[in-house]
Amino acid sequence: MSLEETLAEKIGEWRPRTELLVKQYGDVKVGEVTIGQALGGARGVRCLVTDISYLDPNEGIRFRGFTIPEVLSALPRVPGSDMPYVEGHIWLLLTGDIPTESQVHGLVADLAGRRGVPSYVFDVLRAMPPDTHPMTLFSAGILAMQRESKFVKAYEAGLGKMDHWRPTLEDALDLWSRTGELGAFVYRLKYRDGTPVEPDRRLDLGGDFAHLMGIAPPYDDVARLFFILHSDHESGNVSAHAGHLVASALSDVYYAASAMLNGLAGPLHGLANQEVLRWIQGVMDQMGDEQPTEEKMAEFVRATLDAGQVIPGFGHAVLRKTDPRYTEQRNFCLKHLPDDPIFRYVDLLYKVVPPILQEQGKAKNPWPNVDAHTGVIQWHYGLREYDFYTVLFGIGRAIGVLSNIIWDRALGYPIERPKSLTTEMLEQMAGIGA
Ligand code: NMX
Ligand code: MLT
């Protein structure tokens, strides 16, 4: 069965579950909202539903019920590589099933056949000023491609609500096949001569990205690992939520993906990965060739906190332990680059930062998150323009966000529209003020 046929079967089985909950159990409470939550970024408010991934504070992410090590070992592997096909992960997120070899090969061929960013997109990006941030270029490139949307054409032709997910799947497949190519062009435009490289349609998504970036193996495995690790982190994080929110207005996935990237580009979210490298470079500039001792590193960390800044790559809104995505990248480094100088810096930060954050007593989670480790690996394989790192996060995150949008449409989730209150109303509820 094709991906669309498999999904149609799964969606048909799932719809009655959602319908029953809405129709007969819609009044059952899933939580209460406090003033602290209303004024505190809705932290912990349970009002989003997704079956694609779930984040346990003490265990970390599970994709369709599988932990990261389980996903990496269960998905079909690219021949001669340590890592699975990203396409297999897409199949898993969409259907909930570990795909067979032939299902993965079918999806690899489908996505390869869709590659080819339209040349007008490159022209749009070339017209932007040279100091434009890579995330702005990436987001603008996706927005420029919006005219390709098949959903928009089908909607205008009167497609019924129950079938909205079908052209949305088509749009998502088109976009997934091109995000790597667009990202690589952004890199070449910013830091090389700006000529696009032709994609290699014989390769899987990870292999083609390494080819487009011109980086030798095992960078193809690095790309596969990165795109899988960054794909999804349930629905409440800024990028996933932004994508979901925009798509809930039936905006197509190009609008939604561009919006999610704009949220990912914030330093408290995905941009933290470039900030980690920027911070480490600052320390290296001061240290010269000398490796800092634990005491010296602690001084740098304290100076950053005393200046009122956050330590990038540490802390999390939900997690209360070391991010398993950090651990997986650390395992990769221990195997492939144990003596890399930046790895030694990151490892030292792992020892030094948590006790200082605990001692300071503000951060609820003193442990490192995914962004603390991105730069080490990229830097090692020659990608030293750290402004670009969040684009890699975005290529991965598009997989989860768009998978969610397909299911949102399949289950008929309505336009999102929470209610706001005024400060005076909160004061009245609290029994204070006039
Ligand atoms: N360094 C210094 N202070 C921190 C840190 C940190 N790494 N993490 C949290 N705090 C502070 C935070 O700023 C807040 O201070 P204040 O009360 O003065 O506003 C206090 O601790 C309580 O914050 P939390 O409730 O622990 O964290 P919250 O859920 O609000 O925010 C993050 C979560 C991830 C935004 C926050 O931990 C942070 O800013 N980390 C550094 C940036 C980062 O690594 N972001 C990437 C997250 C992962 N991702 O990819 O998105
Ligand atoms: C993410 O991957 O989106 C980040 O870890 C942030 C989050 O989950 O809140």
Task: Give tens-digit pLDDT for 214-254.
Answer: 999 999 999 999 999 999 999 999 999 999 999 999 999 99
Q: In the predicted model, is pLDDT for residue 20 greater than 70?
A: yes
Residue 434 or residue 127, greater confidence: 127
Residue matched to tokens 């005219």: 147
pLDDT bucket at 289, cuts 50 / 70 / 90: confident
pLDDT in tens, 311-358: 999 999 999 999 999 999 999 999 999 999 999 999 999 999 999 999
Q: 10 Å Cβ neighbour count for 309?
A: 12
Residues at CB less than 6 angstroms from ligand 2? 233, 237, 239, 317-318, 369-370
Handedness of CA 281, 213, 225, 242 (dihedral sign): positive
Helix 371-380 to helix 389-410 angle (10° resolution) is 130
Q: In the predicted model, is pLDDT for residue 434 greater than 70?
A: no
From 233, 264, 273, 327, give the residue whose CB has the most ligand 2 atoms within 8 Å, as the site to mutate.
Answer: 233
Select which of 316, 323, 380, 408 is catalytic.
316
Query: Is the C-beta atom of 60 inside 6 A of ligand 1?
Result: no
How does DSSP assign 289-358, residue by residue? TPPPPHHHHHHHHHHHHHTT---TTB--SS--S--HHHHHHHHHHHHH-TT-HHHHHHHHHHHHHHHHHH
Select which of 208, 220, 323, 371 is catalytic.
371
Calculate the average pLDDT of the chain: 97
Closest CA to 182 of 142, 151, 211, 218: 142
CB within 8 Å of 68: residues ≥ 6 apart: 60, 61, 229, 324, 325, 328
Q: Which atom of ligand 2 is nearest to the CA of 239?
A: 3
> Which-ligand-closest: CA of 315?
1
In the residue annotation, 105 being an active-site residue is answered as no
Q: In the predicted model, is pLDDT for residue 433 greater than 80?
A: no
Cα separation, 336 vs 327, in Å, equals 14
3-class state of residue 56 by DSSP: strand
In the residue annotation, 221 being an active-site residue is answered as no
Ligand 1 centroid to 112 CA: how many Å? 39
Query: Is the C-beta atom of 268 inside 6 A of ligand 1?
Result: yes
Among protein residues, the one with the nearest Cα to ligand 2's atom 8 is 237
pLDDT bucket at 21, cuts 50 / 70 / 90: very high
Determine contact, residues 265/271, Cβ cutoff 8 Å. yes
pLDDT in tens, 119-157: 999 999 999 999 999 999 999 999 999 999 999 999 999
3-class state of residue 369 by DSSP: coil
Compute the half-sphere exposure of residue 76: CA atoms within 13 Å on the CB side of its CA: 19
The overall pTM is greater than 0.75: yes
Query: Is the C-beta atom of 311 inside 6 A of ligand 1?
Result: yes
pLDDT in tens, 414-424: 999 999 999 99
pLDDT in tens, 48-102: 999 999 999 999 999 999 999 999 999 999 999 999 999 999 999 999 999 999 9
The whole-number average pLDDT for the span 271-287 is 94
From 241, 273, 277, 310, give the residue whose CB has the most ligand 1 atoms within 8 Å, as the site to mutate.
Answer: 310
The whole-number average pLDDT for the span 379-399 is 97
pLDDT in tens, 32-49: 999 999 999 999 999 999
CB within 8 Å of 88: residues ≥ 6 apart: 75, 76, 98, 99, 104, 107
Select which of 269, 323, 373, 380 is catalytic.
269
In the residue annotation, 241 being an active-site residue is answered as no
